[in-house]
Amino acid sequence: MMENICALWVLLNLCFSVFIMAGIARGDVSYSLSEEMKIGSVIGNIAKDLGLNLNSLSARKARIDAEGTRRKYCDINVNNGELTVLERIDREGLCGKKSVCILKQELVLENPLESHRININVQDVNDNSPVFKKGVVKLEIRESAVKGSRFLLEEAHDADIGTNSVQTYTVSRNEHFSLAVSFKTGGRISCELVLGKELDRELEKEVTLILTAVDGGTPPRSGTVAIHVTVLDANDNAPLFTESVYKVSLPENSPLDTLVATVSATDADEGVNGEVLYEFSHVSENDLATFSLNPSSGQIRLTGSLDYEDESSFELQIRATDGLGLVSFATVIIEVLDINDNSPVIIIKTLYSPVPENVAFSTEVGIINVQDRDSENGGQVHCSVQQNIPFKLVPSIKNYYSLVTTGELDRELISEYNITITATDEGSPPLSSSKTIRLSVADVNDNPPMYEEQFYSAHVKENNKPGYSVCTIAATDPDWRQNGTVVYSLLPSDVNGSPVSSLLSVNGDTGVIHAVRSFDYEKFKSFKVLVLARDNGSPPLSSNVTVSVFITDENDNSPHILYPSLEGNSFITEMVPKAAQSSSLVSKVIAVDADSGQNAWLSYHIVKATDPGLFTIGEHSGEIRLQKDLSESINMKQNLIVSVKDNGEPALSATCSLYLLISDNLAEVPELKDMSYDESSSKLTFYLIIALVSVSTFFLTFIIIILAVRFCHRRKPRLLFDGAVAIPSAYLPPNYAEVDGTGTLRSTYNYDAYLTTGSRTSDFKFVSSYNDRTLPADLTLKKGKSVEDMLRCTGDELEILNQIFQILLKWESTEQW
Ligand SMILES: *[C@@H]1O[C@H](CO)[C@@H](O)[C@H](O)[C@H]1NC(C)=O
Ligand SMILES: *[C@@H]1O[C@H](CO)[C@@H](O)[C@H](O)[C@H]1NC(C)=O
Ligand SMILES: *[C@@H]1O[C@H](CO)[C@@H](O)[C@H](O)[C@H]1NC(C)=O
């Protein structure tokens, strides 16, 4: 039973002490601390007392803030939660004579924002001894003074408070005086000398005493003063104050030199003895700097500034002394009236700058604390930021605000904000203050490079030099530094089967595209490449653009004459019947040009002729016609040199020779031998040709007979050819079919050529009619007809055979020349 009661008692005691410790208000904590503790001394474990998680202290940036702009006296150790002394704490310096000295500090934690008031009750330590203002007190006393007369003595001053201040006085042993000590309101002790045995000037002119003041500390401290008492003959009266306590009040914003109060004491004595002088008795240095006292008029004036928030009242002791040194004392109590004279103070506790531009809504970017030292409404503060910015202040715990985002940030639009915080109190008139903070927005790689154009095209003349700069592409990226640095590269692809990198290269930094090699219009006329623009962010962003390169033609190909061929040693002889009329088609020069446009626009001219004026050539058709009817006198062998010229700048040309035999009879053929211009053929070639021709003649004859026997029973139309020249298809590059209307071949020739030639190795043609005007239209060879069709249409197989044999004969004879 007894143990139970004991336990309960201990528990109660514990609760009580915890209640004392854990403070007045929720979230507040109070500690008691003796002044003058060593720096680093532990005041208490605040984390434990507030129930804070030790591990989160440093993460939450736990720190001690002094309230307002006052000093910071303690600090928190974030590792163990202990509150330690950071600076010397001198109670007298902090609070002077105030009986309670509370040091206000604040513990601030972030995330979430939390603040706890710490009240440190600074306990007095007896570290000051009583002090007398003067080293020697002079007192003049009449010899007629009666027993029991009292003489007020000056008090000793002890900066400590309570029992550590002066508690008692003693006077050295003597035969005349004793001491009367009396306690006054406010804890002051006054002491008076009491005359116990009359003075006799004839015996002693002077008495010296030692007065000791002792304080109540352990151990006690003391101070002494010597009192010189001069014994006077004359009779005198002490001055008398009109009031023992003067009470005045004064607004804190009173200007300097304001008359605070006038004290006055009267003295019944006549003359010099009745003149009263006033002076401050014991006043602190601070009070002495704040007030002045006119020694003769007794006017107290303001010489320093008042601050209600620092000191709300003053108590001044005034001493009046007459000409004989008799004194009396009065007290002036000055109340300071509070005025709304303090603007709110804005303190930026935390600012997270720069803020990444992709922060979410309502992200806390700063913590602001406002303080106002005024009391009542003058201390009520409202805080706001300017409009039109994506930030606002959200009230947090008392006097704290969170600065949060209210919209999206975009560094590329606004890279920094000047946020002006305005704090206004509720006093009348209200006071306000403002502070501007600079918040910068940090870049996030949120913009891909953008090309200035949607696509690029470049025109390059063929035969360019490698390294020729084709065009320049440009992409911009508004992001910051490497997030906005654009690097160009070609996307791998194929152009006509070769990698694009073999054609073009791009300068990664400048976007200049160079040709890697010389282009040939005749190989490809245009191609497209994709160029990637990538920034250097991580991850990088990119975009691509199509660059079309068009190669423009240059006149770099001479006309190529297909007929009459210049290849090999063969040459061509046309037979012109003697009966041929004027303007009938004799032959045709066929040429092509690999260039295009004007560069392939060919014109034909006869540059030399055996009989000038006999033949004309169509300027663009290349058709050679008789210009007049043949006469007997004309040379049978005609030689024409035709020049083919394109229309390029400069023009390129080619020439060919044409041999014409005006004859109806192949019997005249041997004479053609004279026309041969090539007699240098080697014997070996000659024999080879003979052998080849014999074999092929035999083979051809065989085939033709087989075919004839097989199809001769069918109805066969006459096989006729128009004036068109048969062209071996081997001469035709595949792309000739594309060229039209420029004087070169059309696709129809392709067909004709294919159908009318049996062999690709020899050059020969059928000449059936020289007058194309006489040809029946339906008998013209149509494209699309097969050899089979042709043969089927033949009416008279003998005629065909005859024709074929004639040709073979002719061919054989030409080969033999
Ligand atoms: C913010 O203020 C600074 C200096 O006061 C000034 O240089 C800057 O241009 C201001 N910025 C904006 C975005 O107004
Ligand atoms: C680039 O953006 C990334 C995020 O995308 C960011 O972390 C980095 O700081 C940015 N760099 C610069 C130089 O601003
Ligand atoms: C090029 O960009 C387009 C969109 O701009 C995208 O669809 C395409 O995938 C890109 N091509 C490459 C090869 O990156």
Among the atoms of ligand 3, which is closest to the Cα of residue 532?
Answer: 14
pLDDT of residue 766: 37
pLDDT of residue 800: 58
pLDDT of residue 728: 41
pLDDT of residue 732: 42
- The ligand whose atoms approach the alpha carbon of 388 most closely is 1
Task: Assign 403 to helix, strand or coil.
Answer: strand
- The ligand whose atoms approach the alpha carbon of 420 most closely is 1
Give the pair of three-digit tokens for residue 127.
Answer: 């570290």
Is the CB–ligand 2 distance for residue 445 below 6 Å?
yes
pTM assigned to the model: 0.57
Is the CB–ligand 1 distance for residue 416 below 6 Å?
yes
Is the CB–ligand 2 distance for residue 482 below 6 Å?
yes
Among the atoms of ligand 3, which is closest to the Cα of residue 491?
Answer: 13
Residue nearest to atom 8 of ligand 3 (CA): 544
Nearest Cα to Cα of residue 485 among 432, 436, 447: 447
Is the CB–ligand 1 distance for residue 418 below 6 Å?
yes
**Residue from 416, 420, 439 to probe ligand 1 pocket by mutation (most atoms less than 8 Å from CB):** 416
Is the CB–ligand 3 distance for residue 24 below 6 Å?
no
Q: State how beta strands 327-337 and 245-251 pair.
A: parallel
Nearest Cα to Cα of residue 547 among 496, 508, 489: 489
Q: For residue 650, is the peptide bond before it cis, meaning its omega torsion is within 30 degrees of 0?
A: yes
**Residue from 491, 528, 543, 544 to probe ligand 3 pocket by mutation (most atoms less than 8 Å from CB):** 544
Residue nearest to atom 6 of ligand 2 (CA): 444
Write down how long the chain is. 817
The CA 356 to ligand 2 mean position distance, Å, reads 9
CA distance between the termini of the chain: 154
How far lies 552's CA from each of 172, 464, 494, 559, 596, in Å? 128, 10, 21, 18, 9
Write b or e for each residue in 389-411: b if 16 or more Cβ atoms lie within 10 A of its Cβ, otherwise e.
bebbbeebeebbbbbbbeeebbb
- The ligand whose atoms approach the alpha carbon of 483 most closely is 2
Is the CB–ligand 3 distance for residue 756 below 6 Å?
no
pLDDT of residue 104: 86
Is the CB–ligand 3 distance for residue 492 below 6 Å?
no
Write b or e for each residue in 156-169: b if 16 or more Cβ atoms lie within 10 A of its Cβ, otherwise e.
bbbbbbeebbbbbb
- The ligand whose atoms approach the alpha carbon of 455 most closely is 3
Please state, as a whole number, how many other Cβ atoms lie within 10 Å of the Cβ of residue 811: 17
**Residue from 421, 436, 438, 441 to probe ligand 1 pocket by mutation (most atoms less than 8 Å from CB):** 438
The CA 418 to ligand 1 mean position distance, Å, reads 6
Q: Where are the alpha helices (DSSP H) in 373-446?
A: none
Nearest Cα to Cα of residue 542 among 508, 495, 500: 508
Strand partners, 334: 248, 314
Among the atoms of ligand 3, which is closest to the Cα of residue 543?
Answer: 2
pLDDT of residue 606: 94
d(CA 655, CA 678): 17
The CA 454 to ligand 3 mean position distance, Å, reads 13
**Residue from 418, 420, 437 to probe ligand 1 pocket by mutation (most atoms less than 8 Å from CB):** 418
Residue nearest to atom 13 of ligand 3 (CA): 491
**Residue from 444, 535, 536 to probe ligand 2 pocket by mutation (most atoms less than 8 Å from CB):** 444
The CA 417 to ligand 1 mean position distance, Å, reads 8
Residue nearest to atom 14 of ligand 3 (CA): 544
Is the CB–ligand 3 distance for residue 491 below 6 Å?
yes
The rounded average pLDDT for each run of 10 residues, N- to C-terminus, in the chain (817 residues) is: 46 38 55 92 92 90 77 90 91 82 87 84 91 84 83 84 87 90 76 88 86 91 91 74 92 92 87 86 81 94 88 88 81 90 89 92 91 85 94 89 93 94 92 94 95 94 94 95 94 91 94 94 92 94 95 92 71 79 89 91 93 91 89 84 92 90 70 46 66 80 81 49 40 39 34 33 36 38 42 50 61 50
- DSSP per-residue string spanning 722-790: -SPPP--GGG--GGGGG--SSSS--HHHHHHHHHH-S-SS--------S-GGGS-GGGSPPTT--HHHH
* Phi, psi values for residue 610, rounded to 5°: -60, -40
